Amino acid sequence: MKHTQPNILLIMADQLAVSSLPFHGHPLVKAPHLSRLAQNGVVFDSAYCNFPICAPSRFSMLSGRLPHSIAAYDNASEFPASMPTMAHYLRHAGYRTILCGKMHFIGPDQLHGYEERLTTDIYPADFAWTPDWLKGPGYRPTGVSMRPVLEAGPCVRSMQIDYDDEVEYKGAQCLYDLARAPQDKPFFLTVSYTHPHPPFVAPQKYWDLYRREDIDAPRVPPIPYEELDEHSQWLYVAHAQDIYSVSDEQVLNARHAYYGMVSYVDEKIGKILEVLKETRLDDNTVVVFCGDHGEMLGERGMWFKQCFFEDSVRVPLIVSMPKRYAPTRVGAHVSLVDLLPTFMEWAQGEQVAEPVGPLHGQSLIPLITGTEAGTNRSVISEYSSEGVSAASRMLREGPWKYIFTHGLPPMLFNLDTDPDELLNLAGQPEYSITQAHLHARLVDDWDPATVHARILASQKERLFLAAVASGSSKTPNWAYQPFVDETQRFIRGSGTAGPTSVKARARFPYVDPVQPDKTSG
């Protein structure tokens, strides 16, 4: 290696619940590759997304900024090309930046600082999924319902299997190509899978890893509708639970499929890690694994995400580079906006340049190295996408979780004494000082009424644009179309280099050509 900066391999899974992972205590789920990564890495036990739904969570992570500050309100909010991302910062620091897999960019810019993109995306890049709060939580632009739960089971093939098989292949091939290339620049490679996002279907091989009689029921049984907080009542309607009934057997069936999906994506991740080691790129590569948000998986009778309960808003987060960092577990509250300043510190060392715009996270390196306890760290998460009717925000600080939704009563939980979040302490006199402190912190840079009004105005504009687009045959298609220049991979013409030299360069490890030991007569 000619460079001293570490390569960075960011691996992502979609909708992966922390509670379903063996290294976070699940006794049944099989995820050997992630478990090995955790065993040899730094595991963050209290990591959170900054928005419990796909696109805004990823936009926030990439930009290092909280969602409201970049108008990332929902799964149809445009991520503007003018927003600096971790890929831009790493390119500026001399990195080669490559994206393989899902990122759910909305808008015409489908790179956002990545120099190369190896696959298309899996969901729309336009405004088709814009929520409409004026229609209430029953308006479902994505068509979400309880059908994925009711239809759960094994399968031979699915759209998401097609996608993740391609992500695995392209990601592995990219590592082979990087290993064969002159190592004059470090790389930042993001490999992002769509599993275990619903529908709850798993290939038979992974379904058969689990026996039906062993599948565990949710810890917290369904809560009657009339006893739910209003945010959860919105989601009850938004997920069509008022239309579809779900039996206990169907709950177990969906959880069975989900565990199979976790094992499936774990094997995909294992392949990438295997190639990293096989090519010896692991010697100077820091591996970061995370999810974009969680999955309720039937807890409290709730499914999917879109709320601030732990199974929805917590994410797995591992940092692994055994030659540099000793394995440990970190209990400090952290979030995905902390990744960008961490990556900047890896790229720039102690001379970290001033960012060109505000960042809302802190480097994780003091926690990784044990030079900071992290007891004063807090986390912000927001939600304003489909399924609700108002802007909401969460603050996690110490043992406390405080949730405020515009127009609704607040919620306050002590997760040390109430890990299942069943006892709302908001409004109780003995917690008034704590609640006042947390509320002041939560609204310090976030005025609920103002944010709410901005979101409604944004929805109105984007719904208009979506309606115009749907009635036109000449609407620009922002979906990313990957291009592969096969002339660079195979012998496709009569260039100056002969076919033997092309084949020699493709061999890894490289072997110097054998020279003739005899002269012709």
Torsion of CA 110, 113, 115, 120, to 10 degrees: -20
- Please report how the helices 248-278 and 159-180 are oriented relative to each other, as an axis angle in degrees rounded to 10: 10
| Nearest in space to 281 (alpha carbons), one of 117, 368, 171 | 171
Decide if 125 contacts 105 (C-beta within 8 A). yes
Contacts of 486 (CB under 8 A, 6+ apart): 492
Pick the closest to residue 362 from 53, 64, 29 (CA basis): 64
Based on the residue annotation, tell me whether 155 is a catalytic residue of this protein: no
Two structure tokens written together for 368 = 């990784």
As a whole number of Å, the end-to-end CA separation of the chain is 43
Burial of 147 (0-12, 13-18, 19+ CB in 10 A): middle
Q: Is 104 a catalytic residue?
A: yes
- Buried/exposed code over 171-197 (b: 16+ C-beta within 10 A; e: otherwise): bbebbeebbeeeeeebbbbbbbbbbbb
Cα distances (Å, whole numbers) of residue 419 to 48, 222, 231, 412? 15, 16, 19, 12
Give the active site residue among 104, 231, 256, 293: 104
Q: Which residues pair with 203 in a beta bridge?
A: 155
Question: In Å, what is the CA distance from 450 to each residue of 68, 134, 294, 453, 456?
Answer: 11, 17, 28, 5, 10
Name the catalytic one among 49, 54, 174, 307. Answer: 54
List, as one string, the DSSP characters of 339-354: HHHHHHHHHHTT-PPP
Q: 430: how many CB neighbours lie within 10 A of its CB?
A: 7
Residue-wise DSSP of 220-276? SPPPPGGGS-HHHHHHHHHTTTTT----HHHHHHHHHHHHHHHHHHHHHHHHHHHHH
Residues known to be catalytic: 54, 104
